[in-house]
Amino acid sequence: MLNPITRADFLRLTAMSASLLLIPNLARADDNEITRDMILSDPDAPVAGNPDGDLTIVDFFDYNCPYCKMAAKSLEKIVKTDGNIRLVYKDWPILAETSIVGARLALGAKYQDQYLPVHHALMDIPGYGISQEQMLNAVRKTGVDQPRLDADMATHADDILRLVKRNLNIAEAIGLQGTPGFLVGAYKVNQALNYDGFVRVVADARARAKSSK
Amino acid sequence: MPYVRILGFVTLLLRLVMAAIGPVVAATPIPADHAFQLRAQLDEEEGIELNWIIAPGYYLYRDRIVVTLDGQRVRTVTEKGEPKDDPNFGLVEVYHGNGTATVPAELLPEKGRIIVTYQGCGENTICYPPVSKTVDLVTLLIEEAPAGGGSVPAAVASGGNQSGVAADVATWGPSQASGTATEAGMFSGGLVSTVLAFLGFGLLLSFTPCVFPMIPILSGMLARAGDRLSLTRSFVLSASYVVAMAAAYGTLGIFVAWSGENLQAALQTPWAVLAMSAVFIALALSMFGLYELQLPQSWTAKLAAAAGNKGSVGGAALLGFGSALIVGPCVTPPLAAALVFVAQTGEVARGSLALFALGLGMGLPLIAFGVLGAKVLPRSGAWLARVKHIFGFIFVALAIWMASRALPVALTATAWGAMFIAIGLYLDVPSLLETPRWRSASLARGAVGVLALFYGCVLVIGAALSDYGPLQPLVTAGLVASADAKGADGFQVVSNEADLDKAIELGRQQGRSIMVDFSADWYTECLLMERNIFAQDAVRQRLRGMLLIRADLTHFNASSKNLMQRFAVVGPPTVVFLNPDGSEITDARVVGDIGVSGFLGRLAKVSRA
Question: pLDDT tens, B188-213?
Answer: 445 677 778 778 777 766 655 555 55
Mean pLDDT of A94-109: 92
Percent of chain B beyond pLDDT 70?
Answer: 59
Chain B: closest CA distance from residue A128 (Å): 7
Q: What is the C-alpha separation between B32 and B51, in angstroms, rounded? A: 15
Across the interface, do B527 and A174 touch by the CB < 8 Å criterion?
yes
Number of A:B CB contacts under 8 A? 268
Using a CB–CB cutoff of 8 Å, tell me whether A18 touches chain B. yes
* Closest CB to A18 among B27, B175, B571: B571
Q: What is the C-alpha separation between A128 and B85, in angstroms, rounded? A: 13
Instruction: Kindly report the CATH number that applies to the domain delimited by A35-211.
Output: 3.40.30.10
pLDDT at B157 over 50: no
Element (H, E) at B559: helix B558-566
Lowest mean pLDDT among A155-164, B14-23, B104-113, B357-366: B14-23
Separation of CA B357 from chain center: 24
For B413, the 3-state DSSP assignment is helix
ipTM of the complex: 0.77
Percent of chain B beyond pLDDT 90?
Answer: 4
Greater confidence, B266 or A30? B266
* Closest CB to A66 among B89, B168, B593: B89
Q: Which range, A182-191, B2-11, B283-292, is most confident?
A: A182-191
Domain B32-153: CATH superfamily, name plus number: Thiol:disulfide interchange protein DsbD, N-terminal domain (2.60.40.1250)
pLDDT at B51 over 80: yes
| Torsion on CA atoms A132, A134, A135, A136, rounded to nearest 10 | 90
The conformation of residue B531, written as its DSSP 8-state character, comes to I
Using a CB–CB cutoff of 8 Å, tell me whether A22 touches chain B. yes
Q: How does DSSP assign chain A, residue by residue?
A: --SPPPHHHHHHHHHHHHHHHS-SSPPPP-TT---HHHHHH-TTS-EEE-TT-SEEEEEEE-TT-HHHHHHHHHHHHHHHHH--EEEEEEE---S-HHHHHHHHHHHHHGGGT-HHHHHHHHHTS-SSS--HHHHHHHHHTTT--HHHHHHHHHHTHHHHHHHHHHHHHHHHHTT--SB-EEEETTEEE-S---HHHHHHHHHHHHHHHHHT-
Residues of B in contact with A62 (CB under 8 A): 127
What are the CA-CA distances from residue B116 to residues A139, B50, B84, B247, B592 (Å)?
A: 34, 9, 23, 67, 42
Given a contact cutoff of 8 angstroms between Cβ atoms, the answer to whether B352 and B198 are in contact is no
Chain B: closest CA distance from residue A170 (Å): 9
For residue B281, what pLDDT is reported? 79
Given a contact cutoff of 8 angstroms between Cβ atoms, the answer to whether B175 and A25 are in contact is no
Pairing outcome for strands B82-84 and B92-96: antiparallel
Given a contact cutoff of 8 angstroms between Cβ atoms, the answer to whether B594 and A23 are in contact is no
Greater confidence, B592 or A147? A147
Q: Which residue of A has its CA nearest to B8?
A: A2
Q: What are the extents of the domains in chain A?
A: 35-211
Give B274-288 as a 3 state SS string.
Answer: HHHHHHHHHHHHHHC
Confidence band of B144 (pLDDT split at 50, 70, 90): confident
Residues of B in contact with A190 (CB under 8 A): 27-29, 126
Q: Which range, A101-110, B272-281, B549-558, is most confident?
A: A101-110
Instruction: Single out the residue of B418, B460, B464, B412 nearest to residue B273, CA to CA.
Output: B412
Chain A: closest CA distance from residue B246 (Å): 18
0.80 cut: is pTM over it?
no
pLDDT tens-digit map of B314-333: 777 777 776 666 555 445 54
Q: Which residue of B has its CA nearest to A123?
A: B88
The conformation of residue B370, written as its DSSP 8-state character, comes to H
Instruction: Single out the residue of B582, B565, B203 nearest to residue B574, CA to CA.
Output: B565
Residues of B in contact with A97 (CB under 8 A): 152, 155
pLDDT tens-digit map of B328-360: 544 554 565 566 556 555 566 777 787 788 888
For B113, the 3-state DSSP assignment is strand
Q: Which residue of B has its CA nearest to A161?
A: B160
Q: Is the peptide bond before B470 cis (omega within 30 degrees of 0)?
A: no
Given a contact cutoff of 8 angstroms between Cβ atoms, the answer to whether B122 and B57 are in contact is yes
Q: What is the C-alpha separation between B551 and B559, in angstroms, rounded? A: 10
Chain B: closest CA distance from residue A145 (Å): 26
pLDDT at B147 over 70: no
Helix B231-259 and helix B313-327: axis angle, to 10°? Answer: 50
Using a CB–CB cutoff of 8 Å, tell me whether A33 touches chain B. yes
Mean pLDDT of A175-198: 89
Lowest mean pLDDT among A12-26, B156-170, B272-286, B313-327: B156-170
Across the interface, do B173 and A30 touch by the CB < 8 Å criterion?
yes
* Closest CB to B181 among A21, A64, A192: A21
What are the CA-CA distances from residue B466 to residues B227, B410, B414 (Å)?
A: 56, 6, 10
For residue B176, what pLDDT is reported? 26
pLDDT tens-digit map of B460-512: 777 666 444 444 433 333 333 333 334 456 788 888 888 888 888 888 888 88
- Cβ within 8 Å of B, A 146-185: 158, 161-162, 164-166, 168-169, 173-175, 177-180, 183
pLDDT at A18 over 70: no
* Closest CB to B127 among A23, A158, A179: A179
Residues of A in contact with B29 (CB under 8 A): 177-178, 190-191
For residue B50, what pLDDT is reported? 92
For residue B279, what pLDDT is reported? 72
pLDDT at A159 over 50: yes
Residues of A in contact with B369 (CB under 8 A): 1
pLDDT tens-digit map of B73-123: 888 988 888 887 655 555 788 999 999 999 988 888 888 889 999 998 888
For B60, the 3-state DSSP assignment is strand
Chain A: closest CA distance from residue B433 (Å): 35
Which amino acid, one-letter code, is at B367?
I
For residue A199, what pLDDT is reported? 92
Given a contact cutoff of 8 angstroms between Cβ atoms, the answer to whether A35 and B172 are in contact is yes
Lowest mean pLDDT among B538-542, B560-564, B575-579: B560-564
Q: Which range, A165-179, B311-325, B447-461, is most confident?
A: A165-179
Using a CB–CB cutoff of 8 Å, tell me whether A200 touches chain B. no
For residue B562, what pLDDT is reported? 79
* Closest CB to A178 among B128, B186, B527: B128
The conformation of residue B108, written as its DSSP 8-state character, comes to S
Residues of A in contact with B185 (CB under 8 A): 20-23
For residue B356, what pLDDT is reported? 85
Backbone angles phi, psi at B134, to 5 degrees: -100, 145
pLDDT tens-digit map of B206-234: 655 555 556 666 666 666 655 556 777 77
Chain A: closest CA distance from residue B34 (Å): 12
For residue A21, what pLDDT is reported? 37
Residues of B in contact with A69 (CB under 8 A): 88
Residue B356 CB: number of other CB atoms within 10 A? 25
Given a contact cutoff of 8 angstroms between Cβ atoms, the answer to whether B543 and B604 are in contact is no
- Cβ within 8 Å of B, A 106-145: 126-129
pLDDT at B250 over 60: yes
Instruction: Single out the residue of B161, B607, B600 nearest to residue A30, CA to CA.
Output: B600
* Closest CB to A177 among B16, B64, B126: B126
Options 3.40.50.261, 3.40.50.150, 3.40.30.10, 3.40.50.10070; which CATH number does B477-608 get?
3.40.30.10
| Torsion on CA atoms B537, B538, B540, B543, rounded to nearest 10 | 170
Q: Look over chain B and give the mean of its residue pLDDT values, rounded to a whole number.
A: 69
Interface residue of B88, B124, B126 to substitute, partner A, most A CBs within 10 Å: B126
Mean pLDDT of B110-139: 88
Across the interface, do A178 and B127 touch by the CB < 8 Å criterion?
yes
Pairing outcome for strands B131-136 and B82-84: unpaired
What lies within 8 Å, CB to CB, of B219 at 6+ separation is: B369, B370, B373, B377, B378
Chain A: closest CA distance from residue B195 (Å): 11
Q: What are the extents of the domains in chain B?
A: 32-153, 184-378, 477-608
Across the interface, do A10 and B152 touch by the CB < 8 Å criterion?
no
For residue B223, what pLDDT is reported? 61
Q: What is the C-alpha separation between B48 and B139, in angstroms, rounded? A: 12
- Report CA Rg, chain A: 18
pLDDT at B435 over 70: no
Instruction: Single out the residue of A134, A140, A139 nearest to residue A118, CA to CA.
Output: A139
Q: What is the C-alpha separation between B533 and B523, in angstroms, rounded? A: 16
Across the interface, do A213 and B189 touch by the CB < 8 Å criterion?
yes
Across the interface, do B179 and A23 touch by the CB < 8 Å criterion?
yes
pLDDT at B377 over 50: no
Confidence band of B545 (pLDDT split at 50, 70, 90): confident
Interface residue of B4, B156, B214, B591 to substitute, partner A, most A CBs within 10 Å: B156
Confidence band of B604 (pLDDT split at 50, 70, 90): confident
* Closest CB to B129 among A129, A178, A191: A178
Interface residue of A170, A177, A193, A196 to substitute, partner B, most B CBs within 10 Å: A177
Across the interface, do A16 and B15 touch by the CB < 8 Å criterion?
no
- Cβ within 8 Å of B, A 40-79: 42, 62, 64-70
Residue B442 CB: number of other CB atoms within 10 A? 18
Mean pLDDT of B423-438: 71
Residues of A in contact with B197 (CB under 8 A): 16-17, 20, 211
pLDDT at B532 over 60: yes
Percent of chain A beyond pLDDT 70?
Answer: 83
Interface residue of A26, A28, A39, A61 to substitute, partner B, most B CBs within 10 Å: A28
